Structure 1
Amino acid sequence: KRFFKKLFIIGIYAAVLSSSPLFAQLQVKSYVDKNIIENGDQFTLFVEISGKDSQKSGQPDLPDLSAFAAFLGSGSSRSVQIINGKMSVTKTLQYQYQAIKEGKFTINPVQVKAGGKTYSTGSINIEIVKSSGSTQRPQNRSRSNSSMISSKDLYLRVIPNKHKVYVNEPLVLTYKIYTRVDVTSFGFQKLPETTGFWVEDFTKNASRPVTKTEVINGVRYTVATIKEMALFPMSAGDKVLEPMVIVCSVRVKRRSNDIFDSFFDDPFGRQINKSIASKPLKISVKPLPQQQKPADFSGIVGNYVISASVDKNYVSTNEAVTFKFIVKGSGNLKTLPEPKIKFSDDFEVYPPKVTQNVSFTSGIVHGTKTFEYVLIPRKPGIKKLPAVKLSVFNPAKNKYELLSTKQIILNVKKSNKKFDSAAHTGLTKEEVMLVDKDIRFIKTECSRFYPAKPEPVFSNLWFLILMLFPVLSITTAVIYRRHADKMMTDQAYARNKRSSKMAKKRLADARKVMDEERGKEFYAEAGKALIGFVADKLNIPEAGLITKDVKEKLKKLGVSEKTINEYFECVNICDIKRFSPETSTHDEMKSFIKRAEDAIDLLNREI
């Protein structure tokens, strides 16, 4: 009886301890960097998650602060502590806001979900006061270093080429830094959300932009263009582009009347970080007119010219002829679908090779797109290659245009060579590759047999397996423990290890919407799988991913040019199919998902 009584008391004691905060799996708290904020100034909301399951927690559910603050961007950091052999991980999330309304406000609790439970923080009271309108503030060492720089000395501006555009008409945005202080470097903290736009980034040498000087309202500024991009809206309506946020590293010198402060200060100054944001940009997107809209409208908007040509006009039967159809002009050429050309049945026509070159000059997006067909005439005579027609919308003229090439005459004479039937067996490329490989050689001799001999117990395979099992189990446990610790503390390692699993999951989501009516969703999910996989492998954010930089990083890791080109060809197909007016068949989507899987698998083997 005494034994069961002690056991009962110990059980109650353990239950009380496990429910105390000391034994809690997760602790969540929120706080701000300052409670009294001037209107127009920035403040930061911190969410700190600590405990054993901090890495397994989801994204915090933030309260709505839009009534008195504008969201600018976010960041995160992690810290690891080991006390008495026990590891503690703390994850801190930072959310930056800008005060927009005066008054006293309450930031409601932040909620975090983990392990099927919901954790809440306390509420925070803040006060937004009227801006003093002056950059001269009392000198004290506790103030924020970034407050030493006013918004008149350093700011970010977005300049659009126009405020009203048609659907699929290019909207060119130029982001510039205007500064009167010594900016040594900068980094992108938040890029504007571009959902609903086709994006072309033409930024050149973003890390070291070319600077010039401008005089604004009698004040001289150093100006640097840090990003140039073209947005092609895919739907009509009023759009608002969120601010871009960057962090500038500024070299400053502290001014003091104390001679000793000046003597011991760094003569080259010290570096401080300053976050700046552009203003939200309102854009009006006009729908394309429905009146006089051609039934075969290609969907592209801009100013174009087209041409068609062949490499030779006199050929023999069974001799290949190259037919080129070229579209040249300013606009979103990448979304131009393959033209529907009805060639004569006297020709054997192969799928076209498509090449495109898009560039940005003097604020205009222009380029060429070429469709190159291989035609093989089977019958002699005078053959006519049809004129190619293309319907476009010209925003400068505010009307639809029907572009057309001239008809091409081809003289085909009968060939004296015999028809090479071996090249036209009806086999596909995949079937031809299997020739001589589908039947294995049959061995005509059997292996040599030897008489069985009794073996000692210690030479028995099962005996050796049982002896090695404990050692292998301990080794495996140690390796797994190190792997689990690294997964919690090393973000790059964790993303790399989970990359294949996440890519397979996203491709599985794409398969669920593999339907002709949901083609855009299918290619959107497939695109997420491709972009997410390479971003996880290289430990870079998916947002704002620049293809040129990624290709350079892959080349440095030893990935072949062929593998890189195939991978990003799949990415380009996803982008084009998402915004193309044409629908894809189930077979095309099935073929593409196999191609995407092969591209991911090949890249995974070479990294």
Structure 2
Amino acid sequence: KSVPFDWVRSFSIFAMPHFCRHSRFVLLSWLTAFAFFLPLARTIAEPGVKVGVSSNNVYLGETFVFQISVSGDDEPETPVFPKTADFQVEFLGPQRNKSSSFTIINGRMTNTSVNETKLNYNLTATRTGTLNIPSIPVKVGGRVFRTQAIPIHVMEPEKMDDMALEVAVSSPECYVGQPVTVTWKWFIGRRVLNYRFNLPLLAEKNFSFPAYTPDIDPARRRNYQRIPLPSGDELIGVLEQATRNGVPVTCLTFSLPMIPMQAGAFTFPVSTVTFAIEDTNRARRSRRQFPFDSFFEQTPTRTMTTAAPDLTLNVKDLPAEGKPKNFSGIVGPCRVEVSASPRQISVGDPIILTVQVSGPEYLDNLRIPALSECPELSRDFRVSGEEPGVVKNNHKVFQCTLRAVDAQVKAIPALRIPFFNPTSGCYEEALSEPIALEVEEVHTVTALDAQGLPTAFSSNSGSKLKTVAEGIAHNYGGDILLVDQRAGLATWTKTPWKIAFCLAWPCLYLLALGAVAWHRRRGADPGAIAAQRAAGKCLAALKRIQPDDANGPDLTLAALTDFLAAKLRRPPAAAQSFQEVKAPLADAGIEPAVLERLEKLFAGCEASRYAGATPDDLKQIPLEAAAIVKTINRAF
């Protein structure tokens, strides 16, 4: 008996195993590919965090750059640098870098994209040894990434016979609140290309540094140097010629006043200066080159650091014996002057009392005792409106309001301001002069006084106004009193002097208006006239420089800075370095090549102060400056 062939069953028996094996193979292939590409996809999607330092080997007190680089589209939050005693930390802010570039090599185009945020820090090592920059958490896109720790090897500063840094105080011992002067001296015996001071003393909380500006000698204006600090502030130093260990050197000196706030023996933190000097081992230059190469060619350098020796200051506390109850902290002899206005008053009228205190050199933090608690004043006056005081010239002015409480008051008594005298070591008082017053009794005005009635008048009805039946009396006059005073254009010809008189005033007004307009137009922009004449003055000054004059570079730099200050319409003090004029000149359209020549000229003139200049350089520097001046003048 034949049985019909079942195709469906046959397919199920023979084909299904093959189909299942193929499906398992495909599924396994997809899972393998997914597992392989998933980490790569996450790597592309996730931001990357990298760290780096400008140098792993630094000197004690040397400042170096620590950078955190975050790649990706998300903006990272500003990380918090962990507290550490090994480094002084200064955050320089974020720097966004987003760029794209194309390169074609042998017909093949390559696209390179950069999208990153750089977080820069200035770190200064505070001790020697191997220090670690700790791991820092960085939050990006809601996720926290931690940087890796970086070891830093900190070495002792090198000692050089011709380079040294010294620090001194005006007195090794003082009282709390007594100002002393701290002076730094940097002895320079070789060519220095750039420098950076690190003065951790200025960050000490036990000392206060009042505002201070040294006296500038106009005759030595070129010898003053601006000294930038890591905090962004600037100090003013002066360059002088000195002798150290029998060798002539250049000395950069600058000072600051300091007021101790607490008693104790304090050792100043180490002050350092980091600078670059010429590396003679790597320098390969020929003296047969163009004379300007010694100034404008890039010189191989190496970074050095010099530290100042340790210095101790003994600060004594103010004695408790004999200390007045109203002592306000004034240290040093002082004088008190008092004035009052007005002096002829009635009881209760306000009197403006002005107290001027002088004597201490630094008056910003000076305070006087509360005048409302002064028994001499509170007995006869009500004191109000006390002010914290304002510094004017060499004294500090305090004001308050007094009101006499009695007509028997005859004068404002002498004020006593206690102070501590460091010379005698005891407390003293500054006494003012009394001020005479004329105080009148206050009279009470009644309704009867206002009506002009005797006080004894008992009627309370007062006087009443009455209506006059005749009304107001008018003034009358007849037509005969009127005089014919008709006037018109027809009458002008009879009196030509009137026409001249009337026309003279408009003419005078127009002349005056024209003169004022011309004067205002000329004086509205005085800098324009100076800018027009700047090039001629500069070129004339450069032409007067003799080829064998050793001061030629300084004279060239002086003429050049005056020219740039006039052209940029800035004060001369704001055009003393290339960095101060670089951005304004670039905004004015000066080409980068000209700016590069100008930078080299500045560097060459500055370098001549330390290393001197060859005879060929003395001839070429004014010529190069004249060429640059002509080029810049044509651009304006």
* Amino acid across the alignment from 1:383: K
Decide whether the 8 Å contact of 2:384 with 2:400 is kept in 1: yes
3-state SS in 1 of match to 2:262: coil
* Mapped partners of 1:247, 1:358: distance in 2: 39
In structure 2, what is the equivalent of residue 50 of structure 1? 70
Pairing of 1:593-604 with structure 2 (within 5 A) = none
Residues 168 and 183 of structure 1: is their aligned pair in 2 closer, same or farther, counting only changes over 3 Å?
Answer: same
Q: Which one of the candidate residues 347, 362, 370 is aligned to 1:339?
A: 370
Q: How does 1:102-181 map to 2 (within 5 A)?
A: 106-108=130-132, 110-115=134-139, 117=144, 119-121=146-148, 124=151, 151-181=160-190
Which residue of structure 2 lines up, in the alignment, with residue 90 of structure 1?
A: 118
Corresponding residue of 1:215: 243
Q: Distance in 1 between matches of 2:184 and 2:247?
A: 20
Letter in 1 for 2:134: V
- Counterpart CA distance in 1 for 2:51 and 2:323 is 58
Separation in structure 2 between the aligned mates of residue 159 and residue 62 of structure 1, nearest angstrom: 31
Alignment of 1:575-590 (within 5 A): none
Q: Aligned equivalents of 1:63 and 1:320: distance in 2?
A: 57
Measured at CA, do residues 331 and 19 of structure 1 come closer, stay the same or move farther in structure 2, by a change above 3 Å? same
Match status 1:80 vs 2:97: yes
Measured after TM superposition, the shift of residue 295 of structure 1 is: 2.5
Q: Deviation string for 1:480-524 (max 9, x for gaps)?
A: xxxxxxxxxxxxxxxxxxxxxxxxxxxxxxxxxxxxxxxxxxxxx
Question: In 2, distance between residues paired with 1:378 and 1:51?
Answer: 75
Do the aligned partners of 1:209 and 1:224 also contact (CA within 8 Å) in 2? yes
Q: For 1:168-207, what aligned pairs fall within 5 Å after superposition?
A: 168-181=177-190, 192-204=202-214, 207=226
Q: Give, in whole Å, the separation in 2 of the partners of 1:7 and 1:411.
A: 107
Q: Which residue of 2 aligns with 1:302?
A: 332
Higher mean C-alpha displacement, 410-419 vs 285-294? 410-419
Secondary structure at 1:330's aligned position in 2?
coil
Matches of 2:264 and 2:181 in 1, distance apart? Answer: 18
Pair 1:395–1:18, CA change in 2 (3 A):
farther
For the residues of structure 2 that align with 1:14 and 1:215, how far apart are their CA atoms?
A: 72
Structure 1 regions of 5+ residues with no counterpart?
66-70, 134-150, 360-366, 420-607
Name 2:40's counterpart in structure 1.
17
Aligned to 1:328: 358
For structure 2, which runs of at least 5 residues remain unmatched after alignment? 1-22, 101-111, 217-224, 227-235, 447-636
Whole-angstrom CA distance in 1 between matches of 2:126 and 2:345: 71
Alignment of 1:226-265 (within 5 A): 226=254, 228-244=255-271, 258-259=286-287, 265=293
- After superposition, where does 1:314-463 map in structure 2 within 5 Å? 314-315=344-345, 320-330=350-360, 333=363, 334-340=365-371, 341-342=374-375, 343=377, 347=381, 349-353=383-387, 355-357=389-391, 367-377=394-404, 379-414=406-441
Q: Does the aligned pair in 2 maintain the 1:25–1:51 contact within 8 Å?
A: yes
**1:330 offset after TM fit, Å?**
1.9
- Superposed counterparts of 1:451-530, under 5 Å: none
CA 1:249/1:73 → structure 2, altered by over 3 Å: closer, same or farther? farther
Decide whether the 8 Å contact of 1:169 with 1:332 is kept in 2.
Answer: no
- Give how far 1:113 is off: 0.6
- Partners of 1:13 and 1:369 lie apart in 2 by 78
8 Å CA contact 1:164, 1:285 repeated in 2? yes
Distance apart, 1:211 and its partner CA: 2.8
8 Å contact from structure 2 (residues 50, 70) kept in 1:
yes
Render the CA deviation track for 1:377-418: whole Å, top value 9, x for unaligned: 465344342332233222221122244435444222358998
Q: Is the 8 A contact 2:62 2:273 kept in 1?
A: no
Q: What is the letter of the counterpart of residue 223 of structure 1?
A: C
**1:195, CA displacement in angstroms?**
1.7
The one-letter code matched in structure 1 to 2:99 is I
Cα 1:391/1:98, change in 2 over 3 Å: closer
| Letter of the 1:282 counterpart | T
Looking at structure 1, the residues matched to 361 and 156 of structure 2 have their Cα atoms a distance apart, in angstroms, of: 48
Contact 2:67/2:120 (8 A) holds in 1: yes
Match of 2:333, SS? strand
Q: 1:289 aligns with which of 303, 316, 319?
A: 319
Could you give the per-residue CA deviations for residues 568-599 of structure 1, whole angstroms, max 9, x where no partner exists? xxxxxxxxxxxxxxxxxxxxxxxxxxxxxxxx
Which TM-score applies when normalising by structure 2?
0.48
Return the letter of the residue paired with 2:357: V
Structure 1 residues 185 and 200 mapped into 2: Cα distance closer, same or farther (>3 Å)? farther
Tell me which residue corresponds to 1:453.
none
Deviations 1:57-78 (A, max 9, x none): 514448765xxxxx57767584
Percent identity, aligned pairs only, is 18
Is residue 29 from structure 1 mapped to residue 51 from structure 2 by the alignment? yes
Q: TM-score, normalized by length of structure 1?
A: 0.50
Decide whether aligned partners of structure 1 residues 281 and 23 sit closer, same or farther in structure 2, where only a CA change above 3 A counts: farther
Q: CA RMSD in A?
A: 4.7
d(CA) in 2 for partners of 1:398 and 1:157?
31
CA distance in 2, matches of 1:274, 1:418: 87
**Number of matched pairs:** 381
Deviation at 1:269, TM superposition (A): 6.0
Contact 1:30–1:121 (Cα < 8 Å) also in 2: no
Cα pair distance change 1:304/1:122, threshold 3 Å:
closer
Counterpart position of 2:253: 225
- Cα deviation code 1:200-246 (max 9, x no counterpart): 031347636443222232222333334x3222222222334434556
Are 2:135 and 2:149, in contact at CA under 8 Å, matched by a contact in 1? no
Contact conserved, 1:48 with 1:92, CA < 8 A, in 2?
Answer: yes
Q: Is the 8 A contact 1:155 1:276 kept in 2?
A: no
Secondary structure of the residue that 2:136 maps to in structure 1? strand
Secondary structure in 1 matching 2:204? coil
* SS class of match (1:162): coil
CA distance in 1, matches of 2:401, 2:157: 72
Task: Report the Cα distance in structure 1 between the residues aligned to 2:429 and 2:421, rounded to whole angstroms.
Answer: 10
Contact map agreement 2:326 2:369 (CA 8 A) in 1: no
